[in-house]
Amino acid sequence: MTIKEELTDLETKVSKGLKIAHAKMVEFKKFKKTPIVVSSNGKVIEVQPEDIALTSEK
């Protein structure tokens, strides 16, 4: 396996892990009924977890 193939494989695994972590975080916030705090254009805003659309990629 070449370096490029290894990096592509690693990138795929990291991307999949981040998607899973994001979905779990949104589910947790829905359960706790607390907003998700994010930064948008240098401003801190609160987003309700119900407003976040989850894609089911596995």
Domain limits, the chain:
3-51
Q: Give the pLDDT of residue 3.
A: 95
For residue 56, pLDDT over 70 is answered with no
Find the angle CA(46)-CA(51)-CA(52) to the nearest 5 degrees: 95
What share of the chain in percent tops pLDDT 70? 93
Res. 57 pLDDT band, cuts 50 70 90: low
Q: Give the pLDDT of residue 10.
A: 97
What is the C-alpha separation between 17 and 25, in angstroms, rounded?
12
